[in-house]
Structure 1
Amino acid sequence: MNIGAPACGMNAAIRSFVRISLTKGFRVLGIHDSFDGLIRGEVYPMTWTQVQGWAGSGGSLLGTKKHCAQDAGIGKIALKFTEFKIDGLMIVGGFEAFLSAYQLEEARENFPSLCIPIVAIPCTISNNVPGSDFSLGADTALNEITDICDRIKQSATGTKRRVFVAETMGGYCGYLATLAGLASGADAAYIFEEKFTVTDLKQDVEHLKDKITNAGVQRGLVLRNEKANKNYTTDFISRLFAEEGYPVFTTRMNVLGHVQQGGYPSPFDRNYGTKMAARGVEWLSEMVEKYSTPQGPVRTGNADTVVLLGMLKRHLNFTPVQELADGTDFNKRIPKEQWWLKLRPLLRILAKHSVLGYETEAEMVDIDEDEDEEGEHIL
């Protein structure tokens, strides 16, 4: 089942899940259009040839909705699980997939048919799912944004002294804006996780004016995550830069929109989805064998049988969703701790801000053999 907004890598994961499950002797059902399709009974067997060519397709060929389990009704879902005799479930999707798995786990006491092994695979361009450093689809979206930013800057070739303000997607998660800013050489990236004021915006204007006037820079780029601040909108920032930057530079605004979700999946997302689904099938196979009852159905009430499969420090790990709930901001739909925030200081360093405003994470250690003849350190 897919849940959440479409993202590249979904189809590669489904293809891998179907084919590996079939080789292990399981009957594979595809639930179309998330829980809405489940309630309508749109659950059909999937075959080997049906998923041919899915790895290179974007979006969700199985169909997906942004409704979580409670929206569809837990009781209705439990009845359908019984009707279709489901013994294990893989959910591929964004934050809604994680939330749905958590809601199903919470409702197990009242609905025995939900006591099956469930694994969620994070797949969203926002990269905002807890328990995983990277989500399926985020790499493809990042490639698209970087390519668009390069094209935007290239469009100003021959036009001197212009600053572009571009808005990226991602909800309250600033992953795309931050990493795209690093990749495309942006002068600033405004995100929800790092608070900013109008004073900060004014300092960035002065920084751009100084670079253009004294350093010979002809173009600038500023990124803003879509929900970075409800008052300092992309339009507001663009107008402020236009007013305060005149006559040194002119300003143009670009809202990148849903083009970030499109395109063909990158090789990383195709392989990542294939590997994630393969590991998920292995785990489900072990759980089904372990918790099969003499009567036939698989039944387990253990909290560690509803998990999220994610990549943590280059290793694929299964983490119970109950554990992840404590480290999640459900209101803003983001993890409370995010590794990429440590990269934020690089933005200001590489943009050569006169006011850096960052903290170093390590100190240089004096080592005699690493000094040249004049006593300077060599890097």
Structure 2
Amino acid sequence: MGLLELSAAREKHEEFCVPMIMVPATVSNNVPGSYFSIGADTALNTITDTCDRIKQSASGTKRHVFIKTMGGYCDYLANMGGLAAGADAAYIFEEPFDIGDLQSNVEHLTEKIKTTIQRSLVLRNRHFYFTAKCDCITDISYDSNPQQGGAPSPFDRNFGTKISARAMEWITAKLKEAQGRGKTLTTDDSVCVLGISKRNVIFQPVAELKNQMDFEHRIPKERWWLKLQPLMKILAKYKASYNVSDSGRLEHVQPWSL
């Protein structure tokens, strides 16, 4: 949003006719044009570690644990955290559910509690969509706010260093290009987002990315991790199936995210 506003102001202010680039850095991982944002892996590690500790504490005590993740409407942390931690379900904004779905989950968890596992774990993102007017889930959720801050994961440290270096190289190249032509920068390709897409580090103009963003909810319209949502239910032994893409294979999924 900031880059779009600065870009639009170029018509009135020549000072803004300089190369602009955004390096995505948010635990929510909600920036279009990049599969990953700096900080998201660290937050995901924190969530997984928290879930592991709570699961260990809850084992043998017949407890149902609900954990609320950060991320606003973006469901990356809840979805991927639930998959990594072996959660029984993840309540997310993308998949609205009603009282019937909740009853089905409760019945499943009730049967599970009778086994030797004797505990259940459910994650929910901050703004999941429950169609019924009921505050029961909100009232029993544990808010895991330590997801923000702390020591960065090795992935985030290396990712931040590499992508920042690429950003500076891009800025330098754009400035030399403009200097050589003796012109100011006013083209769309001089205002970009630098991110990872399908294992490639790419520069994408924000003018092209604005159509891929749901500005009201601050989330990308397409989120690759949603394809993994059925895997959580399969691993939790729900009666569910998993469909791959039309090409017959998983796409838009990085190996290290699994």
Is the 1:165–1:234 Cα contact (8 Å) retained in structure 2?
Answer: no
Question: Corresponding residue for 1:171?
Answer: 72
Q: Does 1:217 align with 2:117?
A: yes
Deviation at 1:238, TM superposition (A): 6.3
Q: Assess, with a 3 A threshold, how the Cα gap between structure 1 residues 184 and 234 changes in structure 2: closer, same or farther.
A: farther
1:127 corresponds, among 23, 29, 32, to 29
Q: Assess, with a 3 A threshold, how the Cα gap between structure 1 residues 292 and 172 changes in structure 2: closer, same or farther.
A: same
Take 2:67 and 2:132, find their aligned partners in 1: how far apart are those partners?
A: 13
Take 2:157 and 2:133, find their aligned partners in 1: how far apart are those partners?
A: 35
Take 2:12 and 2:44, find their aligned partners in 1: how far apart are those partners?
A: 42
In the TM superposition, what whole-angstrom CA distance separates every residue of 1:58-82 from its partner, at most 9, and x where no partner exists?
Answer: xxxxxxxxxxxxxxxxxxxxxxxxx
Q: Assess, with a 3 A threshold, how the Cα gap between structure 1 residues 328 and 164 changes in structure 2: closer, same or farther.
A: same
Deviation at 1:212, TM superposition (A): 2.0
Q: Does 1:155 align with 2:42?
A: no
Question: Corresponding residue for 1:138?
Answer: 40
- Which runs of 5 or more residues in structure 2 are unaligned? 249-258
Q: Assess, with a 3 A threshold, how the Cα gap between structure 1 residues 109 and 216 changes in structure 2: closer, same or farther.
A: same
Question: Corresponding residue for 2:16?
Answer: 114
Take 1:362 and 1:301, find their aligned partners in 2: how far apart are those partners?
A: 39
Q: Assess, with a 3 A threshold, how the Cα gap between structure 1 residues 362 and 322 changes in structure 2: closer, same or farther.
A: closer
Q: Does 1:287 align with 2:174?
A: yes
The amino acid of 1:194's aligned partner reads E
Deviation at 1:217, TM superposition (A): 2.4
Q: Assess, with a 3 A threshold, how the Cα gap between structure 1 residues 232 and 104 changes in structure 2: closer, same or farther.
A: farther
Pairing of 1:1-379 with structure 2 (within 5 A):
99-159=1-61, 161-213=62-114, 215-229=115-129, 236-237=136-137, 253-257=141-145, 259-292=146-179, 299-354=184-239, 356=240, 358-361=241-244
TM-score under structure 1 length normalisation: 0.62
3-state secondary structure, aligned to 1:299:
coil
TM-score under structure 2 length normalisation: 0.89
Choose 101-110 or 306-315, whichever is displaced more.
Answer: 101-110
Deviation at 1:166, TM superposition (A): 0.8
Q: Assess, with a 3 A threshold, how the Cα gap between structure 1 residues 183 and 300 changes in structure 2: closer, same or farther.
A: same
Question: Corresponding residue for 2:255?
Answer: none
Question: Corresponding residue for 2:251?
Answer: none
Q: Which has the higher contact order (CA 8 A, sep 6+)?
A: 2
The amino acid of 1:314's aligned partner reads R
Is the 2:67–2:142 Cα contact (8 Å) retained in structure 1?
Answer: yes
Is the 2:96–2:131 Cα contact (8 Å) retained in structure 1?
Answer: no
Q: Assess, with a 3 A threshold, how the Cα gap between structure 1 residues 353 and 223 changes in structure 2: closer, same or farther.
A: same
* C-alpha RMSD of matched pairs (Å): 2.2
Is the 1:165–1:222 Cα contact (8 Å) retained in structure 2?
Answer: yes
Is the 2:231–2:242 Cα contact (8 Å) retained in structure 1?
Answer: no
Take 2:244 and 2:232, find their aligned partners in 1: how far apart are those partners?
A: 15
Number of aligned residue pairs: give it. Answer: 247
In the TM superposition, what whole-angstrom CA distance separates every residue of 1:260-303 from its partner, at most 9, and x where no partner exists?
Answer: 012100110000000001101111010010112798xx721111
Deviation at 1:153, TM superposition (A): 1.5
Take 1:234 and 1:224, find their aligned partners in 2: how far apart are those partners?
A: 15
Take 1:253 and 1:290, find their aligned partners in 2: how far apart are those partners?
A: 54
Q: Assess, with a 3 A threshold, how the Cα gap between structure 1 residues 235 and 148 changes in structure 2: closer, same or farther.
A: farther
Identity of matched residues, %: 51
In the TM superposition, what whole-angstrom CA distance separates every residue of 1:345-372 from its partner, at most 9, and x where no partner exists?
Answer: 1011000013x2x551269x9xxxxxxx
3-state secondary structure, aligned to 1:291:
helix
- Rg larger for: 1
